[in-house]
């Protein structure tokens, strides 16, 4: 596996409504992409650290779209790390499961014509999920982290981080279900293997 080289750039305080975190900037050497790590407490201790690896979602994280569960997942991760008093959130620039913002909007347009999220990606010529987590290795090693309690419903993400050499203990992260994203979440569970409760997803359609 070709590991992405990533370099630390700078850090500063990040005061939020939940806690004052530390914000750390990294740059991916090959692409120039800029990624973020947000930490709280001594994350490099020997015991597993509560962690969230979150891919950028402009529509969900910033524009409060209800078409996905990204915004609620991001907010919940901050809340859970603050409550724990120790944790890390990696914010990766991988918009639209790696297809980019404009292509994601094209995919939404196809979904409005009847395609599901997987079919839309394929119609645009992309894989179901284009994301790559190799940059996480250098970011986690920067903080001397070896073991994570990972907030995720995505088994592929767990496998990817384990293949990078880290111990991963899954912590479920079920938030943000609503009538606008029920079909989207159902597709992720049925076609992409995400670890969701189908009965909860179907119930959110009522």
Residue holding tokens 């404009």? Answer: 102
Domains, in order of start, for the chain: 6-203 (3.40.50.10990)
Distance of CA 138 to CAs 7, 29, 84, 206, Å? 8, 12, 24, 44
Catalytic residues: 129, 131
Residue 32, sorted as left (phi over 0), alpha (psi -120 to 50) or beta, turns out to be left
Adjacent-strand bridge partners of 20: 15
Share of the chain above pLDDT 90, in %: 68
What per-residue string of b and e applies to 20-56 under the rule 16 or more CB within 10 Å gives b? ebebbebebeeeebebbbbbbbebeeeebbbbbbbbb
Asked whether 78 and 18 are in contact (CB, 8 A), the reply is yes
Long-range CB contacts (within 8 A, 24+) of 24-28: 24/142, 26/135, 26/138, 26/139, 26/142, 28/4, 28/135
C-alpha 180/C-alpha 118 separation (Å) is 17
The pLDDT tens digits for 86-133 are 999 999 999 988 899 999 999 999 999 999 888 999 999 998 888 899
The DSSP output letter for 68 is: S
Give the range among 29-43, 62-76, 139-153, 180-194 with minimum mean pLDDT. 180-194
Beta-strand pair 34-40/6-15: unpaired
Indicate the pTM of the whole model. Answer: 0.88
pLDDT, mean over the chain: 88
Adjacent-strand bridge partners of 34: 27
């Amino acid at each position: 596996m070709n590991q992405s080289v990533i370099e630390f750039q700078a850090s500063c305080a990040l005061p939020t409504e939940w806690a004052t975190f530390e914000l750390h900037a990294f740059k991916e050497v090959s692409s120039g992409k800029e990624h973020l790590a947000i930490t709280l407490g001594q994350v490099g201790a020997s015991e597993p650290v509560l962690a969230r690896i979150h891919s950028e979602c402009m529509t969900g994280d910033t524009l409060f779209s209800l078409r996905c569960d990204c915004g609620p997942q991001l907010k919940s991760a901050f809340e859970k790390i603050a409550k724990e008093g120790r944790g890390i959130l990696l914010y990766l620039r991988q918009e639209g499961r790696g297809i980019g913002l404009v292509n994601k909007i094209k995919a939404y347009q196809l979904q409005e014509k009847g395609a599901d999220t997987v079919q839309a990606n394929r119609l645009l010529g992309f894989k179901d999920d284009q994301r790559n987590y190799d940059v996480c290795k250098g970011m986690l090693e920067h903080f001397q982290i070896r073991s994570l309690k990972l907030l995720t419903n995505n088994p592929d993400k767990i496998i990817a981080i384990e293949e990078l050499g880290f111990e991963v203990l899954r912590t479920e992260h079920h938030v943000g279900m609503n009538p606008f994203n029920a079909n989207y979440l159902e597709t992720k569970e049925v076609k992409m293997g995400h670890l969701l409760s189908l009965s909860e997803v179907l119930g959110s359609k009522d």
